[in-house]
């Protein structure tokens, strides 16, 4: 069976088609000599790809995209096929010729009106939404929008509230009661190191999974990564740059956890455009509600009567809180949350 026949060339990600993009030709070489790898960083058109993972030959190979990929996005977490010089020696450059089908895609559009989209991370199992209890102030609108992106992209969301030493996170956490998601807390002990027992709980949640940390600049993502991955050496910033466009981490990086699994540290995001997400994308994540919408009028926006979900809740099919949470997330797709907002 050829590589092309086993699905390697199906990519669900479509960037805006460019007028110059050519149709694929049948004569394209199959690259039977290609080696498979895992994209750990993306930096200005250069991809660092881990090859022969967990073998004696494990190495990091620098690669660029092959022309035949067209404009398809390559993201951290992608499984790709490489050709060319795959030794990983200094000053060598391989080419990415194929992107494996993805199990999940964390995307965002630049803003809510922009329908082109960026792939932030591919194949992640979990989206860890990091928000500080204070400094910077939590923004539930932003958390909600991350939740929508997780549900729409088939990632399990996890909420992580950092800096619990600075403010009591109880009220913040209560807003997520009806969403049935794991919630973790971390804090610094006496203003110095992260609480070890709490870091252990985070470690347990990330074990053997591919997880992405996402959140505003300064919430403590890299601080946590450094506690989880002893030799990560991620730069830690001050919170003074928040809202001024300064971010300590500038590109997404996948780091291997000592006990198995990967964690992806991302730069602080300012906004999370959701132009690509439909109400139905979100609805599928609420499997307790989805069945009841069969009784909705055509093109129902599910936001209020005559939506069948109101009757479903009145009949005891789901709690009012659960429906309210679903509608809050639906509404959060509109209206851009930014650092400055
Ligand atoms: N008090 C307190 N400060 C913390 C905690 N976690 C992190 N910080 C501080 O918050 C600041 C920002 O931390 P970073 O880890 O750089 O934040 P980040 O989310 O990686 O930021 P970007 O890379 O810009 O997205 C640093 O001064 C950390 O020391 C915490 O639990 N409590
Ligand atoms: Mg950082
Ligand atoms: Zn409806």
User: Considering only CA atoms, which residue is closest to atom 27 of ligand 1?
Assistant: 238
Peptide bond into 96 cis (omega under 30): no
For residue 303, how far is its CA from the centre of ligand 3 (angstroms)? Answer: 7
Q: Give residue ranges with CB within 6 A of ligand 1.
A: 162-163, 165-166, 186-188, 194, 215, 217-223, 236-239, 247-249, 267-268
At 98 the three-state DSSP class reads strand
Strand partners, 127: 157, 212
Q: Please, which residues have CB within 8 angstroms of residue 6's CB and are 6 or more apart in sequence?
A: none
Phi, psi of 226 (to 5 degrees): -65, -30
Residue 263 neighbours by CB under 8 Å, 6+ apart: 206, 211, 212, 213, 225, 228, 229, 254, 255, 257
CATH classification of 105-265 is 3.40.50.300, yes or no? yes
Burial of 265 (0-12, 13-18, 19+ CB in 10 A): buried
CATH placement of domain 35-99: 2.40.50.140
At residue 268, the pLDDT reads 79
CA 271 to ligand 1 centroid distance, Å: 19
Q: Where are the alpha helices (DSSP H) in the chain?
A: 140-152, 170-174, 196-206, 221-228, 279-283, 308-314, 320-332
Judged by its nearest atom, the ligand closest to the C-alpha of residue 236 is: 1
The position carrying tokens 């795959």 is: 86
Q: Cα(64)–Cα(176) distance, rounded to whole angstroms? A: 41
**Dist. CA 305 → ligand 2 center (Å):** 44
- pLDDT in the model for residue 247: 57
Torsion, Cα 78 108 181 338, to 10 degrees, reads 140
Instruction: Please tell me the residue having the least CA distance from ligand 1 atom 10.
Output: 220
For every one of its 341 residues, what pLDDT tens digit does the chain have, with 9 covering 90 and above?
A: 333 333 333 343 444 445 555 555 555 567 888 999 999 999 888 999 999 988 999 999 999 999 988 888 899 999 999 999 999 999 999 999 999 999 999 987 766 666 566 888 999 999 999 999 999 999 888 899 899 999 999 999 999 999 999 999 999 999 998 898 999 999 999 878 999 999 999 999 999 999 999 999 899 999 999 999 988 777 676 554 444 445 566 678 899 999 999 999 888 777 777 878 888 889 988 999 999 999 999 999 999 999 999 999 999 999 999 999 999 999 988 754 443 33
Domain locations in the chain?
A: 35-99, 105-265, 279-333
pTM of the model: 0.84
Kindly report the number of other CB atoms within 10 A of residue 253's CB atom: 21
Q: What is the pLDDT of residue 286?
A: 93
Residue 231 is predicted with a pLDDT of 83
* Residue from 220, 238, 246, 271 to probe ligand 1 pocket by mutation (most atoms less than 8 Å from CB): 220
* Contact present, 326 and 292 (Cβ < 8 Å): no
Ligand closest to Cα of 242 equals: 1
Looking up tokens 């939506």, which residue turns up? 307
Task: Please tell me the predicted confidence (pLDDT) of residue 292.
Answer: 96
Residue 123 CA to residue 100 CA, distance in Å, equals: 10
- Substitution site in 168, 232, 237, 245 for ligand 1 pocket (most atoms within 8 Å of beta carbon): 237
Q: Atom 5 in ligand 1: which residue has the minimum CA distance?
A: 163
For 292-295, the CB contacts below 8 A with 24+ separation are: 292/317, 292/318
Write down the pLDDT at residue 4. Answer: 37
Triad 128, 225, 186: Cα angle to 5°: 65
- Residue 240 CA, ligand 1 centroid: distance in Å: 11
Rounded-to-5 percentages of helix, strand, coil across the chain: 25, 25, 55
């Amino acid at each position: 069976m050829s590589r092309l026949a086993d699905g390697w060339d199906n990519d669900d990600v479509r960037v805006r088609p460019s007028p110059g993009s050519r149709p694929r030709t049948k004569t394209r070489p199959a690259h039977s000599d290609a080696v498979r790898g895992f994209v750990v960083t993306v930096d200005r058109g250069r991809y660092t790809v881990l090859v022969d993972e967990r073998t004696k030959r494990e190495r990091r190979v620098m690669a660029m995209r092959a022309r035949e990929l067209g404009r398809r996005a390559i993201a951290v977490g992608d499984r790709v096929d490489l050709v060319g010089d795959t030794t990983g020696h200094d000053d060598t450059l391989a080419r990415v010729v194929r992107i494996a089908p993805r199990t999940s895609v964390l995307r965002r559009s630049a803003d809510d009106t922009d329908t082109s989209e960026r792939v932030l991370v591919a194949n992640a199992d979990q989206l860890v939404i990091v928000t500080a209890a204070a400094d910077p102030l939590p923004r539930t609108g932003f958390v909600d929008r991350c939740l929508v992106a997780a549900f729409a992209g088939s990632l399990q969301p996890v909420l992580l509230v950092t800096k619990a030493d600075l403010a009591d996170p109880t009220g913040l956490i209560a807003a997520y009661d009806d969403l049935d998601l794991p919630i973790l807390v971390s804090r610094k002990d006496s203003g110095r190191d992260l609480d070890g027992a709490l870091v252990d709980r985070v470690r347990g949640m990330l074990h053997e999974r591919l997880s992405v940390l996402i959140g505003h600049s300064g919430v403590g993502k890299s601080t946590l990564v450094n506690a989880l991955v002893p030799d990560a050496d991620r730069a830690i910033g001050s919170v003074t740059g928040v809202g001024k466009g300064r971010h300590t981490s500038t590109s997404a990086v996948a780091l291997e956890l000592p006990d198995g699994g990967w964690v992806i540290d991302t730069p602080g995001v300012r906004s999370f455009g959701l132009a690509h997400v439909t109400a139905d994308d979100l609805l599928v994540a609420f499997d307790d509600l989805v069945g009841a919408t069969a009784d909705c009028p055509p093109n129902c926006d599910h936001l209020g009567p005559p939506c069948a979900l109101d009757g479903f809740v009145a009949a005891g099919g789901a709690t009012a809180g659960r429906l309210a949470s679903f509608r809050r997330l639906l509404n959060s797709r509109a209206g851009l949350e930014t650092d400055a907002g």
